[in-house]
Amino acid sequence: MRILEIADGGTRLTEAPTPLPGAGQVLIQVAASGINRADLLQIAGHYPPPPGEPEHPGLEVAGTIATLGADVEGWQIGDRVSALLAGGGHADYALAHASLLLRTPDVLTDVEAATLPEALATAWSTLVGFGAEVIGGLTPGDDVLILGGSGGVGTLAVQIATTAGGRVITTAGGPEKVAALAGLGAAVVLDHRALSPADLTAAVLAATDGRGADVIFDVLGGGALAENVNRLAMKGRLLLIGTQAGSRGELDVLALMQRRASIHGTTLRSRPLAEKAAIMLDVTRHVMRHVEAGRIRPVLQETFPAEQASDAFDRMRAGSGMGKLVITW
């Protein structure tokens, strides 16, 4: 089978043996694989896969089940699925744990389905929580600020927060993205290119009658930390899922204390299998019905054949588009 091997600071297509599924696993014939910023970090040598996982990148795929491992129940060869992976997705075939599969609705193509697992799992588990673990604790009526609403995760986070009853305020760069996010259900969309960080804070406060946001979903990280605290409501929750603006920032502890607010950092890839399975079960129960009904819909930026994968990664580095980039196999 073909895989995208990391080499010389980039990737190249090479041949590798097709793996066999172990107990509780399935082998997926991959039709499409979603690109994530974690792929760029791994390619750059900064984000190695967890022990025992494939060395080649790729955190989500869609396709059909080709082989069932032992003890797999509820799935059949030929079922259309998407899957959350810890690595190895950018390939003709990928192994996935059966507990991390999503059944692909008839309303979606495989390319569209490949945009969902990582983003839905990240957004749902962070904004709301999963099982008994409450992270964002989003409840109907909350004001939710989503920074970076035009990205692959952000576009779905906007829709998840809206369907969960939140009032969404989000950011984007440029009038086209602003209009598109309004079309996804955001109540207020702020063009960050036209606002300084302090002006953005003032706009968030104005949009919430001076209260601030109950929940902030942040892909920026350290560079936005100080202003994000100023944007929080009383008992607000700041949720950090990325470091696009750096991993270090300045924190006004007194401002955080005065708001009786909290900061929660989280990642998905390194979670134990049991936690990921609980997240995907929640996504299946609470989110996929909205996907099937069209209330949550994938936002596809562009597709690239596997032979042009390096162009796809360059496009993600540029960060100029909206939605998800996908490699087809």
Round the average pLDDT of the chain to a whole number and report it. Answer: 96
pLDDT of residue 85: 97
Q: Report the pLDDT averaged over residues 158-173.
A: 97
Total domain count, the chain:
2
Asked whether the predicted pLDDT for residue 275 surpasses 90, the reply is yes
pLDDT of residue 244: 84
Three-class SS state of 84 = strand
Shared domain for 145 and 219, answered yes or no, is yes
Shared domain for 19 and 34, answered yes or no, is yes
pLDDT of residue 194: 94
pLDDT digits (tens, 9 = 90+) for 25-51: 999 999 999 999 999 999 999 889 989
Shared domain for 127 and 26, answered yes or no, is no
Distance, in Å, from the CA atom of 108 to the CA atom of 177, rounded to the nearest integer, reads 23
Q: Are 237 and 262 in contact (CB under 8 A)?
A: yes
Amino acid at 18: T
In which band, very low, low, confident or very high, does the pLDDT at 320 lie, cut at 50, 70 and 90? confident
pLDDT of residue 246: 86
Shared domain for 221 and 261, answered yes or no, is yes
Shared domain for 142 and 242, answered yes or no, is yes
Shared domain for 17 and 110, answered yes or no, is yes
pLDDT of residue 220: 87
SS (HEC) of 47-73:
CCCCCCCCCCCCCEEEEEEEEECCCCC
| In-domain check, residue 289 | no
| In-domain check, residue 285 | no
Asked whether the predicted pLDDT for residue 140 surpasses 90, the reply is yes
Residue 211 token pair = 């209260």
pLDDT of residue 15: 97
pLDDT digits (tens, 9 = 90+) for 79-119: 999 999 999 999 999 999 999 999 999 999 999 999 999 99
Q: Residue 197 belongs to a domain with what CATH number?
A: 3.40.50.720
C-alpha distances (whole Å) from 108 to each of 30, 113, 293 are 15, 6, 11
Three-class SS state of 223 = helix
Asked whether the predicted pLDDT for residue 9 surpasses 90, the reply is no
Shared domain for 304 and 259, answered yes or no, is no
pLDDT of residue 75: 98
Q: Report the pLDDT averaged over residues 257-286.
A: 96
Q: Domain ends where: 224, 247, 265?
A: 265
| In-domain check, residue 286 | no
The whole-model pTM stands at 0.95
Shared domain for 10 and 130, answered yes or no, is no
Asked whether the predicted pLDDT for residue 8 surpasses 90, the reply is no
Q: Residue 38 belongs to a domain with what CATH number?
A: 3.90.180.10
Q: Give the list of residues 6+ apart from residue 62 with CB closer than 8 angstroms, or none.
A: 30, 31, 32, 33, 80, 81, 82, 83, 104, 110, 111, 112, 113, 114, 116
Q: What percent of the chain has pLDDT over 70?
A: 100
| In-domain check, residue 292 | no
Q: Which residues pair with 239 in a beta bridge?
A: 217, 264
Q: Residues of 191-201 as b/e, b for ≥16 C-beta within 10 angstroms? A: ebeeeebeebb
pLDDT digits (tens, 9 = 90+) for 195-250: 999 999 999 999 999 999 999 999 988 889 999 999 999 999 999 998 888 889 99
Asked whether the predicted pLDDT for residue 319 surpasses 90, the reply is no
Strands (E) in 131-281, as ranges, are 133-134, 143-147, 167-172, 188-191, 213-218, 232-240, 262-265
| In-domain check, residue 278 | no
Q: Are 200 and 176 in contact (CB under 8 A)?
A: no
pLDDT of residue 245: 84
Q: Report the pLDDT averaged over residues 278-290.
A: 97
Shared domain for 111 and 212, answered yes or no, is no
Q: Find the domain containing 13 and state its range.
A: 2-116+298-328
Shared domain for 87 and 134, answered yes or no, is no
pLDDT of residue 17: 97
Q: What percent of the chain has pLDDT over 90?
A: 91
Shared domain for 112 and 125, answered yes or no, is no
Q: Which long-range contacts (CB under 8 A, 24 or more apart) does 162-165 make?
A: 162/186, 163/287, 163/290, 163/295, 163/296, 164/127, 164/128, 164/138, 164/139, 164/140, 165/138, 165/139, 165/140, 165/141
Asked whether the predicted pLDDT for residue 131 surpasses 90, the reply is no
Shared domain for 191 and 261, answered yes or no, is yes
Q: Which long-range contacts (CB under 8 A, 24 or more apart) does 167-176 make?
A: 167/141, 167/142, 167/143, 168/144, 169/143, 169/144, 169/145, 169/204, 169/207, 169/208, 169/213, 170/145, 170/146, 171/146, 171/147, 171/200, 172/322, 176/322
pLDDT of residue 291: 98
| In-domain check, residue 45 | yes
| In-domain check, residue 129 | yes
Return the top range by mean pLDDT from 148-152, 155-159, 245-249, 268-272: 155-159
Q: Domain ends where: 265, 290, 311?
A: 265
Residue 176 token pair = 């086209």
pLDDT of residue 187: 98
| In-domain check, residue 272 | no
pLDDT of residue 132: 78
